[in-house]
Structure 1
Amino acid sequence: MNPTEHAPPRLLLLGAPDRASLLGRIDRATQRLASGISPLQDELGQPDEQERLAIVGPAQELVALLAVAREKLAEPGRTRLSMRNRGIYFGQGQQASGVAFLYPGEGAQRVGMMDTARQHLSPLREWLSALDQTFLGHGHPPPSELIYPPSGSNADESALFDIARGGPLSTAISLALHEVLVGYGVRPDALLGHSNGEHAAVMAACLDLSRDRQHICDWLHQTSRAGLALHPPEPAQGMLAVSAFSSTALTALLAEREGEVFLAMDNCSLQQVLGGHRAELEKVAEHISAQGGIGLKLPFQRAYHTPLFARWGETLAAHYPLLALPSPKTPVYSCLTGQAMGPEADAMRETMARQWTATISLRNAVENLYAKGIHTFIEVGPDNKLCAFVDDTLRGRPHLAAGMASARQDDMAVLKTLLAQLYAHGVGLDVHGIRLREFPAPPPVARPLTSPPQRQGLIERQAALITDAKARMQAMQQSFLSRRGTGSAHPATKPGTAVTAAFSGGALARELRRQLSTTAMPWLADHSLGRGQPALPVLAFTTSLALAAAVARQTVGAHRSAPVVLTAVKAQRWLALDEGKLGLHIAWSRQANTVDISLRDEQPLHDEPAFSSHVEFIPAAVAPLAPLGEQGSGRCAWTPERFYREYAFHGPQFQCLRQVTWIGSTGIVAELETTLPPAADAELFAADPALLDGAGQLVALWLLEHSIITADTGVFPYQARRVVLHETPPPGVRVRCEGRIAVHGEAVTEADFVFSAGGRIIATIEGFAQRLIALPSILANWIFGDGRMAFSSSTASGERTINLDEWRDTLEANGGIWARALAHRVLNAHELPAWSSHRDVEDLLARIAAKELALEDMARRGMPTPPLHAITISRNLLTYGDYDMSFDYRPGGTPLRVARSKAFS
């Protein structure tokens, strides 16, 4: 689907002087929304109202979300409400005071960043266009190509973190987002830039961004060319993020390597960043890991904020006078001094220049701002990493830290969520302007639902999708051919068998195909998107991991007892067994005893693999978890029995949890049991997928116990930094599993797990990350619930309607996984093969509406109503036993409409 057709979530703000009035306004807004009428302005409250409710969610869910909010606010004594997974926020009391804008440095950018937002936010388009035109005017490549590569070219991710090209982009995007936020009526009391973000902070404070845009772009171009003229440092430099390592030990470590490694950034108590010579940093990382800490290499080729960065600091100092800096309109704080800069221009320039060769401390600056009454921190950039640092620094103290964007969530959803939080928090907003954006007046005349222009638009979209799919398939085939090598001949390989390639020095890239099915391996059906049957089986993250490890083991001829070490483990999307079958392409590139593995669908519409990992066969040191602080019984309300009964979708073979022995704010300890039959780990898998999947299940249980998620929120793994597989116990063995768990932002968890049995460590998972996905309540009910909520609604004329535009994006996302999962729930064995051949969302929703129309008719006749998958549709005829009904479906319109034909029994 074209990004411009993406429908962002709606934002609804209601305010009142007291609770009774607010409940009344909720009721009136509910009635209007249910009737298809936008809430009127008198229902919208200002941030200085005593009672403030904000809701952000899809338009079709606003009525349901209002009902949830009303139920909660009717409880006596309720003064706060924050249901992040549902998009409901409520605040009470005086208007908040003290707002700081935080501008991130170069670590925030990424390929594709803000792509959705630029379709909706004109300042983003204008800033990127101005920056590109400035560079093109001097005969240089436009910077935006780094994040939006031209068709047919690959993204140069390394350039994003280069001082010459990535820096101007991050500054321009931060300034554009500053304009967006100010346009919503938010006014900062202080500005704070982190590293390169200090440029954006100073410019936003001193300059008129709309009037001085070209001056800023000219300066960014000049500094970019100066950066390109600098030679790469010798010896090589880098940066290392350090976590879970004591400050005392870190100070001692730096003293031992004085002049080689430096403390560059003190972000918060949980993270410091080191800069220095790369060879020494690698030794430091190994030492930190051996002591149970975490050392993560950052994608920078220079040691920012250390004496080694003096050359660039001098270059910038020479260019700062070229930037006109009137006195700041808003105080600008420095991460170098922790205090306000200036106010004279030369003093500001001097502070900016000094920060590049000295340690900067975001923690110190945040503490000082908080002491001055700044309790609200907004990250003005393409990610929300700084928010996590603020939350850690101010842990236990009242505050709000939120970002305008995130690498893990839809751009507009994050922005609307920020506005909802600010409103509930009592931060000043232009509520009238937001209302005009969110609920514009309808056009005076509505076009007919079946008008030729709409139908033609649908045909054009379908043709574009087919053309794009063909191009992607051709590119995929060329990619496979290039990896095989021109003129190479490989022996035929039977599906389901591994290939061991001869190795004669250098890297060797090979492929094989493998067929998986629930018929051959019934236990695969116990990991399905859907509680009960029918459902769509998907490969668990750990099943893909165990399969990749087995292929790598066979490739290098390693013994089954040899430890397997997997690093950079990533899952880009689900691998699903549609109709119980999955054809896999497995590609690898081998270098000595290391193998890079990737898994793809047999007929993918994606360039990137679905799953990938680097696999090594080396002695694996095991770093124990830092103490979890286990005290007391650790009893929790979410027992394994309740977890599998009320939340998890796992079938019997994946139900490995037996007992939670301790749970706390930092992690969880549980007893697991191996459940898979002996044949499950024969040659196909190098570990027990169901046992390892217990790590993800324990994260979900921990989140439920701490009320961070509800049953409508899915928790899905997508990466792990390092996994070590030592041995696989036979079925029926009890295994102790210890996990340290943390939540980053609103949508990601990170954890480390250790599995042990008989006093031996059998597996470890480090940097295990999972996304939290809050599904629309109707979809969640159908896939993970009892399937009783209706997708369509009845009209006075006897039709059933569904708003197609509101469902299309959700169901087509991630390779259409949710449409496929829904189809497996509502279509039967006679319908599913035909639908799977085209996977058309409109056809699926039309079938659902027709079946719900039949259920409505059956109920009126006093007949028992069957589940939807028991009803069969062939063309426009619906049958269930002796019952049949013909219906009309007019494609191409929204809302989608299904009506009974004249002749039906």
Structure 2
Amino acid sequence: MASSAEEPQAHAGDTPSEARGAEVASVDDARSAAAARDAAELFLLSSEDRAGLTRAIDELLSRAEADPSIPLHRLARERARAPSWRAGHRLAVIAADRRDLASKLRRARTTLARAEQARLRVRSGIYYGSGAPSGQTALLFPGQGSQYEGMLEQLYRHVPSSRAWFDALDASYTSAGAAPPSELAFPRGPAASEDERLARERQLVDMVRGAQVGLIASLASHEMLLALGVRADVMVGNSNGEHAALIAAGAIQVPSRRALCDVIAHIGLSGRALPAPPTPERMVALNAFDRGQLDVLLERHDGQLFIAMDNCPSQVVIAGTQPAVEAAVDELGRAGAVCIRMPFERAYHTPLFGAWQRALRVHYDRFVTGVAHTPVRCCATGRPAPEEPSLALDLLAAQWSSPVRFRQMIEALHDDGVRTFIEAGPNNRLTAFVEDTLRGKPHLAVAASSQHRSDTQQLKHLVGELYAHGLAVRVEPLDRLCDAALRGVLAPAEAELPATEGAQGPGAAHRGQAAPEEAAPGPARRARSIRALHDALVAEAGESEARVFAMVQRLTRAAGAPPPPRATARPLGPASPAAAPADCPLLGDVVRADRRALHAERRFDWRRDPFVLDHSLGPLSAGRLPGGPHLPVLPFTLSLEIVAEAAWRLTGARPVSFSDLRARRWLALDRGKLTVAIHAERLPEEGREAQVRVTLHEVDGPRRYLAFEGTAHVSAAPAHAALPALLTDPGAPPPRVWSAQRFYAGFAFHGPSFRGIERVVAVGEHSIEADLTITALPELDPLHLQVDPALLDCTGQLVAFWLLERGERRFGVFPFEARRVVWHRRASPPGGRVRCRGHVRLDPSGTTEATFEMVDGSGAPVARVEGLQQRFVRFPETIHHLLFGGGPPEGGAPRGVLGNGDGRAGGVETTDRSFLHASWGIWARALAHVVLGERELDDWYRLGDGDRRVDSLLASVAARDTRLRRARRFAGRPVHEDPARGVEAKEPG
């Protein structure tokens, strides 16, 4: 746990002799500044002597001034990537533009002229060092309080291995029926009020989800550091960070990300059963306080007030019962101390938290333990963690009720010869504590993350400082991350970090060992550098082209005029011929394309794209009009069609199969509109088959959220290997309770074009078989589609049917992953039939997994879907009643009527509130589209995300229920609400 107070240690000034001053910029201003600086480039120079380094500086200056047309990143990679960290003199410069580069290079040259100057550290981006580094390296992991919204967002968006940590944690929580923790770190938008901001802050540090997502962020950060070549001699965790230290060191092993996250989620969710303390508790960070006065207060409130954390000379955190803490704060504040309330409702790291410590110890036995490959020091004892796994877990639990002596730990490490301290995790508060503790002593403290800089910029500063300090670092993974962030895509596979799935893990390598590419330069390394340079140039040119194209569109489009015809890129040669726009009806405007990559943007609008209305979340009532306000959601299979079209448009060949399909977030047409950005990129070819990786991002103003991704496999001469036919369970009977007609009338929300199940033939213990009818999506020509989204969507529907026959109720299944989809492209006109067989299982973790095959009347294969995974969501009763109508039509009241059979008449219990917040508020949004009229919906969206929006929605639900009760009482006939106008309308008598 790190303090939520401002960092006590200020950043250095622009000269080595300037005094350190506190940063006063607000977080919002800092983030805006970070975004503006995100294009800053890292320049690395070296030489064995000062004269050689001075010449290198002059050559770079001359090159920069001689050709101003060379982009800054190209200049950096062509002229400042050859240096060695082993050289006697090393210089790193981070420059935002040419003028900044020239100014900093000249300043560095002036410093080099002074022979006595062995180090230069200007935090705006000049780092110089000479000689070999002294001492050992410690890796620090932060704890509670370091989390912030948007932490490690660029790693999450663009580094597959980092995002895999967050995805694994989300999967563990959703499998347990809980909201995914990543939505705490990456909310849909800013808080609408101060109350909502405070509520979010509390959630981000709570023990149920917040602590866990902070831990995962530290592990993702650690993997990025490993990719950059960072190694440590010792690891230290602050509070909750001790978990990350033991995992990174191998004492707690990682059989797989998901397996570890299952344990982490179990521990977090168990915190819900922890009873509230008998007396409210508080934690407060103290700065500029008198230690003697604090000692007197601790003695006066013995057993009620404690020092929970001793962070550095400038700050401690006190905790205890609320009366004792408030009394101490009042007295210390009058004496001039700066007291900052922390967003914790528990007295962590005090004896008052002993009950939770004992409960945690039982849960810790779920961890897989091993022998650490790197020593871990414990802040509770100041000593190394025991090698015996059970004793290490005892200590891990015990530290929760023991004070965190971080200041004493840093002093002891420095006494033992540690001189370099690297913080792995969100924010840089531990780095500030180290600098305050070791003020005036030789050391280097640097963080991998900062709330005041983007991830790419902070990592550039980290690499620059470590390089100048003489430590082995690799810059290529950082370059690839920067390229991916610039283009809004995933970094290539080479940027993925070494696997941490074994007992030893990557941290077992010695700190001083050269990184693989550094140790063995050669053609492969040069080829990667050339490819990275090419990618950056293409991205830069493409961004300019896209901006010009968008401007022309805006200037030439008259008010009310239809959108201009789709842009078609220039023919790309025989390997990638341009496709006619009609062949890609869902791809939208191609704003940039070449032989290797394609960028497009598709704007969905229910008025122009009526097929989305048949996949809207909400009850199918008699009052539901076409184009009503129910929330349309793009189905998984429609996203697959976009992937297929992007691959076809890029390569000129039809996709024959797809792999690694993954839905990351809901693509919903809030207020009837949605913009999707599409990026397709060719991967290295294997044999005659080309592979295209496609990502879909939801566009929300200036921000983009990864929503869907997958790989399309294209071949000029496809050849599918024969696979054994899927068979139903022997003797599987026909369905006993449900029929296709009842399924669509009483359960599914799908409209006519997605109602492809004609007849379910058999339902077995692990199988289902059905006849499907080929339907047509409105306004889409089937001959122009690469796959049949409506037909493939039936596979997910059949999983729901299978669950219904097994007795499940009030649930939904929503696909999020498919291992492989093969489409044999045997197109049939609407009205044709196929036979579909599938194997289904419900995993205890809360997901379903299925494999389906489809064949036509002659037995020829049509499609195969393997490893289709769906989230099984169990809805609270009243939420399900409001969203999906409350049961099959033969059960009584028509769908859409708010019945009162459960005695609540549609009222949503307070326990359902958390459900409405889950999954980026998708269920609240869907419910709002059901119960609110057009004007009410406009006002509701203006409230922003958070509690205000949910409170308003619940009030509207209650008002709606009152109206319907009154109408039924006076009219005596069923009533439906007209969703287009938000008024009540009686059914025809």
Q: TM-score, with normalisation over the residues of structure 1?
A: 0.48
TM-score (norm 2): 0.44
